[in-house]
Amino acid sequence: MTATRSDRTQTAGHFRVGLLFAVGSALAFGMSGPLAKSLMEAGWTPTAAVTARLAGGAVAMAVFASIMRPNWVREALRHAKTVIAYGLVPIAGAQLFYYNAVSHLSVGVALLLEYTAPLLVVGWLWATTRRRPSNLVLAGVALAIVGIMGVLDVFAGAHINLVGVGFGLAAAVCAACYFLLSDKVGGGDDDGTGLEPITLAAGGLVVGAAAVALLGASGVMPMTFTANQTVIAGWTTSWLVPVILLALIPTAIAYTLGIIGIARLRPRFASLVGLSEVLFAVLAAWALLGEAISVTQAIGGAVVLLGLTLARQGDRTEKVDAATWPETPTGSSDIEQTVRRS
């Protein structure tokens, strides 16, 4: 009985730590839109803003990884397929598709399309594991999506463009891949052959930055930089300020926290927690750009939180083998360590 209670306490603590990292990641990601918008209002193209963000984040993460994990380059090369896939799809792909969606759609509709990613995650895991999510999980997903519609207030002057819808759905696929690929990283194996979150973030950002820069330099996508002054929270400042903040907060810090958090949460629930990024983005837009928060948005935020609560409760009621849904802490059982190594 004592051992069982100890295991439950350890598992609960593992979940709380993962949730803390995931929410911190969503908070950091939420800063991206307002900071990037300040650059685009100063004459930068979306591709230029994404390139600066990813390149700066790659430099920051490379320095951090070299200090914390000196052999990260060799580790990244050993897991080259995973690192390249992560850099091209969840990092470069999601950013480019989203900004292209915004160029054809209102921001609200583009964000709503990208944040259908939790539905894709739930559907993918349902199809591949053949385990139907509980009614509470499905209800949580539905409520979270309804809440996001309220937060984004998408029906206020929204316009639809099929090309933009295609880009938005492509961004959603990339966002879903972010949760699924990050779930493969469990903090490294005991034998030293696993892929550490720091290595995945650093290597992925290097690959993503190179891919986006190549697209811009080749002329496939327009890439224009300017040295014009930017305005953040009513403060006129150098373009370097938003670029540095973009590189550190919603890029290097956000991806690292996200990978660590998702590795400790089920990807399905982690993807729902990721919806809170929209809440933080709305707050950041209010603080940095002076964009007001409506009553509809506030109600939508409450609905999102209710959806997350239901989804988490549904996860607790499901009895799924640890090989399918890794929830217990590393080292808590021989079975889990065998699964992680396989």
pLDDT digits (tens, 9 = 90+) for 212-253: 999 999 988 889 999 999 988 788 999 999 999 998 888 888
CA–CA dist 177, 270 (Å, integer): 12
- From residue 239, give the alpha-carbon distance in Å to each of 1, 27, 94, 257, 292: 60, 22, 24, 26, 24
Calculate the average pLDDT of the chain.
77
| Partners of residue 158 on adjacent β-strands | none
Per-residue pLDDT band at 71 (split at 50, 70, 90): very high
Please give the span between the terminal C-alpha atoms of the chain, in angstroms, as a whole number. 31
Tell me, what's the pLDDT at 32? 80
DSSP class of residue 291? P
Tell me, what's the pLDDT at 92? 93
Tell me, what's the pLDDT at 108? 62
Average pLDDT rounded to a whole number, residues 72-90: 92
CA–CA dist 18, 275 (Å, integer): 15
| Partners of residue 167 on adjacent β-strands | none
CA–CA dist 45, 50 (Å, integer): 9
Per-residue pLDDT band at 291 (split at 50, 70, 90): low
Tell me, what's the pLDDT at 338? 33
CA–CA dist 187, 196 (Å, integer): 5
pLDDT at residue 323 is higher than 80: no
Average pLDDT rounded to a whole number, residues 197-221: 91
Structure tokens at 295: 């009553």
Alpha helices by DSSP H, 183-275: 197-217, 240-247, 254-264, 267-273
Tell me, what's the pLDDT at 215? 92
Q: Shortest CA distance to 178 belongs to which of 25, 9, 24, 16? A: 25
Q: Answer yes or no: are the C-beta atoms of 175 and 118 closer than 8 Å.
A: no
Q: 0.85 exceeded by the pTM?
A: no
CA–CA dist 316, 224 (Å, integer): 49
pLDDT at residue 146 is higher than 80: yes
pLDDT (tens digit, 9 = 90+) per residue, 2-42?
445 555 565 666 677 878 888 888 888 878 878 888 888 89
Q: Which domain holds residue 7?
A: 2-341
Average pLDDT rounded to a whole number, residues 129-137: 80
Tell me, what's the pLDDT at 240? 93
Report the range of poorest mean pLDDT among 107-111, 122-126, 142-146: 107-111
The residue among 85 and 179 whose pLDDT is bigger is 85
The residue among 208 and 232 whose pLDDT is bigger is 208
Burial of 291 (0-12, 13-18, 19+ CB in 10 A): middle
- From residue 107, give the alpha-carbon distance in Å to each of 34, 111, 164, 302, 328: 12, 6, 11, 21, 38
Report the range of poorest mean pLDDT among 63-67, 98-102, 224-228: 98-102
Tell me, what's the pLDDT at 152? 67
Report the range of poorest mean pLDDT among 190-199, 260-269, 270-279, 314-323: 314-323
Tell me, what's the pLDDT at 131? 80
pLDDT at residue 117 is higher than 90: no
Q: Answer yes or no: are the C-beta atoms of 225 and 232 closer than 8 Å.
A: no
Tell me, what's the pLDDT at 6? 58
When divided into structural domains, the chain yields a total of 1
pLDDT at residue 94 is higher than 50: yes
pLDDT at residue 312 is higher than 70: no
